[in-house]
Protein backbone atom coordinates (compact mmCIF):
# COMPACT_ATOMS: atom_id res chain seq x y z
CA UNK A 1 0.00 0.00 0.00
CA UNK A 2 1.32 3.42 -0.97
CA UNK A 3 1.86 5.68 2.04
CA UNK A 4 -0.32 8.79 2.22
CA UNK A 5 1.07 12.31 2.09
CA UNK A 6 0.08 12.82 5.75
CA UNK A 7 1.97 9.67 6.77
CA UNK A 8 5.09 10.85 4.97
CA UNK A 9 4.85 14.37 6.41
CA UNK A 10 4.31 13.16 10.00
CA UNK A 11 7.14 10.62 9.76
CA UNK A 12 9.59 13.26 8.57
CA UNK A 13 8.34 15.81 11.10
CA UNK A 14 8.59 13.52 14.14
CA UNK A 15 11.57 11.45 13.02
CA UNK A 16 13.81 14.01 11.32
CA UNK A 17 12.72 17.63 11.69
CA UNK A 18 12.09 17.81 15.46
CA UNK A 19 15.15 15.87 16.69
CA UNK A 20 17.66 16.92 14.00
CA UNK A 21 16.73 20.46 12.95
CA UNK A 22 14.88 21.73 16.02
CA UNK A 23 16.97 19.70 18.50
CA UNK A 24 13.97 19.23 20.80
CA UNK A 25 14.08 16.83 23.73
CA UNK A 26 12.76 13.23 23.54
CA UNK A 27 9.97 14.13 25.99
CA UNK A 28 8.76 16.93 23.72
CA UNK A 29 8.74 14.56 20.74
CA UNK A 30 6.68 12.08 22.78
CA UNK A 31 4.16 14.82 23.54
CA UNK A 32 3.81 15.63 19.83
CA UNK A 33 3.58 11.94 18.99
CA UNK A 34 0.83 11.36 21.57
CA UNK A 35 -1.18 14.26 20.14
CA UNK A 36 -1.21 12.73 16.67
CA UNK A 37 -1.93 9.27 18.06
CA UNK A 38 -5.08 10.73 19.60
CA UNK A 39 -5.93 12.52 16.36
CA UNK A 40 -5.61 9.28 14.37
CA UNK A 41 -7.83 7.55 16.94
CA UNK A 42 -10.42 10.32 16.62
CA UNK A 43 -10.44 10.07 12.83
CA UNK A 44 -10.93 6.31 13.02
CA UNK A 45 -13.67 6.31 15.68
CA UNK A 46 -15.61 9.45 14.80
CA UNK A 47 -14.91 9.99 11.09
CA UNK A 48 -14.52 6.35 9.97
CA UNK A 49 -11.18 7.14 8.32
CA UNK A 50 -8.47 4.62 9.22
CA UNK A 51 -4.90 5.83 9.58
CA UNK A 52 -3.75 4.16 6.35
CA UNK A 53 -6.26 6.22 4.31
CA UNK A 54 -5.96 9.53 6.15
CA UNK A 55 -4.36 12.22 3.98
CA UNK A 56 -3.71 15.94 4.26
CA UNK A 57 -6.91 16.77 2.34
CA UNK A 58 -8.97 15.11 5.10
CA UNK A 59 -7.67 17.53 7.74
CA UNK A 60 -9.07 21.03 7.80
CA UNK A 61 -10.07 23.64 10.36
CA UNK A 62 -13.50 22.07 11.01
CA UNK A 63 -12.03 18.62 11.62
CA UNK A 64 -9.42 19.96 14.02
CA UNK A 65 -12.14 21.84 15.95
CA UNK A 66 -14.18 18.62 16.15
CA UNK A 67 -11.08 16.82 17.46
CA UNK A 68 -10.60 19.47 20.17
CA UNK A 69 -14.27 19.17 21.19
CA UNK A 70 -13.87 15.38 21.32
CA UNK A 71 -10.90 15.74 23.68
CA UNK A 72 -12.99 17.77 26.12
CA UNK A 73 -16.33 15.96 25.81
CA UNK A 74 -15.42 12.31 25.24
CA UNK A 75 -12.03 12.11 26.93
CA UNK A 76 -12.77 14.69 29.67
CA UNK A 77 -9.51 16.55 29.04
CA UNK A 78 -8.98 19.86 30.76
CA UNK A 79 -8.71 23.14 28.87
CA UNK A 80 -4.96 23.23 29.47
CA UNK A 81 -4.56 19.74 27.97
CA UNK A 82 -6.73 20.75 25.02
CA UNK A 83 -4.54 23.80 24.49
CA UNK A 84 -1.39 21.70 24.67
CA UNK A 85 -2.71 19.38 21.93
CA UNK A 86 -3.65 22.37 19.79
CA UNK A 87 -0.17 23.86 20.24
CA UNK A 88 1.31 20.61 18.86
CA UNK A 89 -0.99 20.79 15.84
CA UNK A 90 -0.10 24.44 15.29
CA UNK A 91 3.59 23.56 15.31
CA UNK A 92 3.11 20.79 12.73
CA UNK A 93 1.20 23.04 10.34
CA UNK A 94 3.70 25.84 10.80
CA UNK A 95 6.22 23.33 9.47
CA UNK A 96 3.86 22.18 6.69
CA UNK A 97 3.28 25.65 5.26
CA UNK A 98 6.98 25.77 4.35
CA UNK A 99 7.17 22.16 3.15
CA UNK A 100 3.94 22.23 1.13
CA UNK A 101 2.99 25.78 0.04
CA UNK A 102 0.13 24.43 -2.11
CA UNK A 103 -1.93 23.86 1.04
CA UNK A 104 -0.95 27.19 2.59
CA UNK A 105 -4.51 28.53 2.91
CA UNK A 106 -5.83 25.41 4.67
CA UNK A 107 -2.79 25.25 6.94
CA UNK A 108 -3.13 28.90 7.98
CA UNK A 109 -6.82 28.38 8.75
CA UNK A 110 -5.85 25.57 11.13
CA UNK A 111 -3.15 27.77 12.68
CA UNK A 112 -5.74 30.51 13.25
CA UNK A 113 -7.66 28.33 15.76
CA UNK A 114 -7.13 30.17 19.06
CA UNK A 115 -6.20 28.65 22.39
CA UNK A 116 -8.97 28.67 24.95
CA UNK A 117 -8.61 31.07 27.81
CA UNK A 118 -7.89 29.38 31.09
CA UNK A 119 -7.20 30.50 34.63
CA UNK A 120 -3.59 30.96 35.54
CA UNK A 121 -2.53 27.97 37.65
CA UNK A 122 -1.84 28.44 41.34
CA UNK A 123 1.82 28.21 42.30
CA UNK A 124 1.86 25.65 45.09
CA UNK A 125 4.99 25.61 47.22
CA UNK A 126 6.21 24.42 50.61
CA UNK A 127 6.99 26.53 53.63
CA UNK A 128 10.56 26.24 54.96
CA UNK A 129 9.20 24.30 57.97
CA UNK A 130 7.37 21.79 55.72
CA UNK A 131 10.46 21.35 53.53
CA UNK A 132 12.69 20.69 56.55
CA UNK A 133 10.21 18.14 57.87
CA UNK A 134 10.17 16.21 54.59
CA UNK A 135 13.98 16.24 54.36
CA UNK A 136 14.16 14.91 57.94
CA UNK A 137 12.28 11.70 57.04
CA UNK A 138 14.93 9.54 55.25
CA UNK A 139 16.61 7.01 57.53
CA UNK A 140 20.26 7.99 57.22
CA UNK A 141 21.38 4.85 59.06
CA UNK A 142 20.69 2.94 55.82
CA UNK A 143 22.41 3.37 52.46
CA UNK A 144 19.11 3.83 50.60
CA UNK A 145 18.07 6.52 53.07
CA UNK A 146 21.32 8.41 52.55
CA UNK A 147 20.89 8.20 48.78
CA UNK A 148 17.29 9.42 49.02
CA UNK A 149 18.27 12.34 51.24
CA UNK A 150 20.96 13.38 48.75
CA UNK A 151 18.45 13.02 45.90
CA UNK A 152 15.80 15.19 47.57
CA UNK A 153 18.38 17.78 48.64
CA UNK A 154 19.67 18.06 45.06
CA UNK A 155 16.11 18.19 43.68
CA UNK A 156 15.28 21.17 45.90
CA UNK A 157 18.61 22.97 45.96
CA UNK A 158 19.15 22.91 42.19
CA UNK A 159 15.53 23.77 41.30
CA UNK A 160 15.78 21.02 38.70
CA UNK A 161 12.89 19.63 36.71
CA UNK A 162 12.43 15.97 37.50
CA UNK A 163 13.66 14.91 34.03
CA UNK A 164 16.76 17.06 34.50
CA UNK A 165 17.47 15.19 37.73
CA UNK A 166 16.92 11.83 36.00
CA UNK A 167 19.40 12.75 33.25
CA UNK A 168 22.17 13.90 35.59
CA UNK A 169 25.45 12.03 35.13
CA UNK A 170 28.55 11.96 37.29
CA UNK A 171 30.35 14.21 34.78
CA UNK A 172 27.68 16.87 35.40
CA UNK A 173 28.77 17.28 39.04
CA UNK A 174 31.62 19.54 40.14
CA UNK A 175 32.25 19.39 43.86
CA UNK A 176 35.31 21.67 43.89
CA UNK A 177 34.51 25.12 45.25
CA UNK A 178 32.21 26.55 44.12
CA UNK A 179 30.17 23.32 43.70
CA UNK A 180 28.09 23.34 40.50
CA UNK A 181 25.67 21.05 38.69
CA UNK A 182 25.26 21.12 34.91
CA UNK A 183 21.59 20.55 34.05
CA UNK A 184 20.25 19.76 30.58
CA UNK A 185 16.85 21.39 30.22
CA UNK A 186 14.21 21.78 27.54
CA UNK A 187 15.56 21.97 24.02
CA UNK A 188 18.74 20.29 25.33
CA UNK A 189 19.91 23.63 26.67
CA UNK A 190 22.52 23.37 29.39
CA UNK A 191 22.82 25.62 32.43
CA UNK A 192 25.09 25.67 35.44
CA UNK A 193 23.49 25.97 38.87
CA UNK A 194 25.29 26.31 42.20
CA UNK A 195 24.50 24.06 45.14
CA UNK A 196 24.80 24.98 48.79
CA UNK A 197 27.53 23.60 51.12
CA UNK A 198 25.21 21.22 53.01
CA UNK A 199 23.94 19.71 49.76
CA UNK A 200 27.53 19.39 48.57
CA UNK A 201 28.43 17.39 51.71
CA UNK A 202 25.46 15.04 51.25
CA UNK A 203 26.24 14.54 47.57
CA UNK A 204 29.95 13.99 48.20
CA UNK A 205 29.27 11.32 50.84
CA UNK A 206 26.71 9.61 48.60
CA UNK A 207 29.07 9.53 45.61
CA UNK A 208 31.94 8.14 47.67
CA UNK A 209 29.70 5.46 49.18
CA UNK A 210 28.29 4.52 45.77
CA UNK A 211 31.75 4.29 44.15
CA UNK A 212 30.86 7.06 41.70
CA UNK A 213 34.19 8.82 42.22
CA UNK A 214 36.20 5.95 40.72
CA UNK A 215 37.77 6.10 37.26
CA UNK A 216 35.46 5.22 34.39
CA UNK A 217 32.26 6.36 36.14
CA UNK A 218 31.85 9.75 34.46
CA UNK A 219 28.98 8.58 32.24
CA UNK A 220 27.21 6.70 35.02
CA UNK A 221 23.84 8.12 36.13
CA UNK A 222 24.17 10.15 39.31
CA UNK A 223 21.10 8.54 40.91
CA UNK A 224 20.38 4.91 40.04
CA UNK A 225 18.23 1.98 41.14
CA UNK A 226 19.22 -1.50 42.31
CA UNK A 227 20.16 -2.51 38.76
CA UNK A 228 22.42 0.58 38.58
CA UNK A 229 20.21 2.02 35.84
CA UNK A 230 19.23 5.65 36.04
CA UNK A 231 16.15 6.32 38.09
CA UNK A 232 12.87 7.08 36.36
CA UNK A 233 10.55 10.01 36.90
CA UNK A 234 8.08 7.61 38.52
CA UNK A 235 10.80 6.32 40.84
CA UNK A 236 11.66 9.81 42.06
CA UNK A 237 7.96 10.60 42.58
CA UNK A 238 7.62 7.39 44.61
CA UNK A 239 10.53 8.35 46.88
CA UNK A 240 9.18 11.84 47.46
CA UNK A 241 5.62 10.61 48.10
CA UNK A 242 6.87 8.08 50.64
CA UNK A 243 8.54 10.74 52.77
CA UNK A 244 5.68 13.16 52.31
CA UNK A 245 3.30 10.50 53.69
CA UNK A 246 5.60 9.95 56.67
CA UNK A 247 5.82 13.68 57.37
CA UNK A 248 2.03 14.01 57.27
CA UNK A 249 1.70 11.61 60.20
CA UNK A 250 3.61 14.03 62.43
CA UNK A 251 2.39 17.42 61.21
CA UNK A 252 -0.51 19.07 59.40
CA UNK A 253 1.64 21.66 57.61
CA UNK A 254 2.35 19.33 54.66
CA UNK A 255 0.10 19.95 51.62
CA UNK A 256 -2.00 17.12 50.23
CA UNK A 257 -0.23 16.87 46.88
CA UNK A 258 3.54 17.33 46.83
CA UNK A 259 5.23 16.65 43.49
CA UNK A 260 8.85 17.06 42.37
CA UNK A 261 7.80 20.23 40.52
CA UNK A 262 6.53 21.71 43.79
CA UNK A 263 10.09 21.37 45.11
CA UNK A 264 11.18 23.49 42.13
CA UNK A 265 8.46 26.04 42.90
CA UNK A 266 9.58 26.11 46.52
CA UNK A 267 13.17 26.93 45.57
CA UNK A 268 12.01 29.74 43.28
CA UNK A 269 9.69 31.25 45.90
CA UNK A 270 12.31 31.14 48.65
CA UNK A 271 14.86 32.78 46.34
CA UNK A 272 12.34 35.51 45.55
CA UNK A 273 11.46 36.08 49.21
CA UNK A 274 15.20 36.38 49.96
CA UNK A 275 15.41 39.33 47.58
CA UNK A 276 17.00 37.55 44.60
CA UNK A 277 16.34 39.26 41.26
CA UNK A 278 13.82 37.72 38.86
CA UNK A 279 16.51 37.83 36.16
CA UNK A 280 18.74 35.54 38.21
CA UNK A 281 15.83 33.24 39.10
CA UNK A 282 14.96 33.02 35.39
CA UNK A 283 18.48 31.87 34.54
CA UNK A 284 18.60 29.57 37.57
CA UNK A 285 15.39 27.78 36.53
CA UNK A 286 16.25 27.72 32.83
CA UNK A 287 13.28 29.77 31.65
CA UNK A 288 13.61 31.25 28.17
CA UNK A 289 11.30 34.18 28.92
CA UNK A 290 11.12 36.40 32.00
CA UNK A 291 7.31 36.37 31.78
CA UNK A 292 7.38 32.70 32.80
CA UNK A 293 9.34 33.59 35.93
CA UNK A 294 7.02 36.47 36.79
CA UNK A 295 4.34 34.02 37.93
CA UNK A 296 6.32 33.62 41.16
CA UNK A 297 6.26 37.37 41.80
CA UNK A 298 2.47 37.43 41.27
CA UNK A 299 1.99 34.49 43.62
CA UNK A 300 4.32 35.75 46.36
CA UNK A 301 1.84 37.16 48.89
CA UNK A 302 4.39 37.13 51.73
CA UNK A 303 6.73 39.57 49.99
CA UNK A 304 3.75 41.77 49.09
CA UNK A 305 2.65 41.82 52.73
CA UNK A 306 6.13 42.83 53.95
CA UNK A 307 6.33 45.58 51.30
CA UNK A 308 2.97 46.99 52.39
CA UNK A 309 4.02 46.93 56.04
CA UNK A 310 7.11 48.99 55.18
CA UNK A 311 5.15 51.44 53.02
CA UNK A 312 2.28 52.01 55.48
CA UNK A 313 3.56 51.48 59.04
CA UNK A 314 1.05 51.68 61.87
CA UNK A 315 -1.72 53.36 59.87
CA UNK A 316 -4.34 50.99 61.28
CA UNK A 317 -3.98 50.68 65.05
CA UNK A 318 -4.88 47.47 66.80
CA UNK A 319 -6.58 48.84 70.00
CA UNK A 320 -10.29 49.41 69.41
CA UNK A 321 -12.57 51.57 71.58
CA UNK A 322 -14.51 49.67 74.25
CA UNK A 323 -18.19 50.50 73.74
CA UNK A 324 -19.17 49.16 77.16
CA UNK A 325 -16.96 51.82 78.83
CA UNK A 326 -18.49 54.76 76.96
CA UNK A 327 -20.78 56.37 79.61
CA UNK A 328 -22.51 58.65 77.09
CA UNK A 329 -23.33 55.75 74.82
CA UNK A 330 -24.59 53.62 77.71
CA UNK A 331 -26.85 56.45 78.96
CA UNK A 332 -28.30 56.87 75.48
CA UNK A 333 -28.92 53.11 75.13
CA UNK A 334 -30.60 53.05 78.53
CA UNK A 335 -32.91 55.90 77.53
CA UNK A 336 -34.19 53.83 74.62
Active site residues: 161, 186, 261, 264, 287, 296
Q: What is the dihedral of CA 171, 175, 180, 186, to 10 degrees?
A: 30
Which residues have a Cβ under 8 Å from the Cβ of 274 and sit 6 or more positions away?
A: none
The reply to whether omega before 333 is within 30° of 0 (cis) is no
Could you give the C-alpha distances from 134 to 74, 138, 207, in angstroms and in order? 39, 8, 22
Burial class (CB in 10 A: 0-12, 13-18, 19+), 298: exposed
CA distance 58 to 93: 14
Contacts of 318 (CB under 8 A, 6+ apart): none
Picking from 21, 25, 24, 62, the residue whose alpha carbon sits closest to that of residue 42 is 62
Work out the end-to-end distance of the chain between its first and last CA atoms, rounded to an integer number of angstroms: 98
Is 168 exposed, middle or buried (CB count within 10 Å of its CB: 0-12, 13-18, 19+)? buried
Give the HSE-up count for residue 280: Cα atoms under 13 Å, Cβ half-sphere.
11
Residues 59, 110: contact at Cβ < 8 Å?
A: yes
Helix (H, G, I), strand (E, B) or coil at 191: strand
Amino acid sequence: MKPTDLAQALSHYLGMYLPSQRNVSPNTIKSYRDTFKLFLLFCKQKCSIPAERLSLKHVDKIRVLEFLDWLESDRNNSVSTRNQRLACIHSFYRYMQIEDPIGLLSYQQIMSIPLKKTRAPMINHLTPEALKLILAQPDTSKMNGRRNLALLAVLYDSGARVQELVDLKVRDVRLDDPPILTLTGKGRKKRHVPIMPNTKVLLEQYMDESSLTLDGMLDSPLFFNRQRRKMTRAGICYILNKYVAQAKTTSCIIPNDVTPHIMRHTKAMLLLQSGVSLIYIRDFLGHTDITTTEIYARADTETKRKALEKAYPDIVETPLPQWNKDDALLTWLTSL
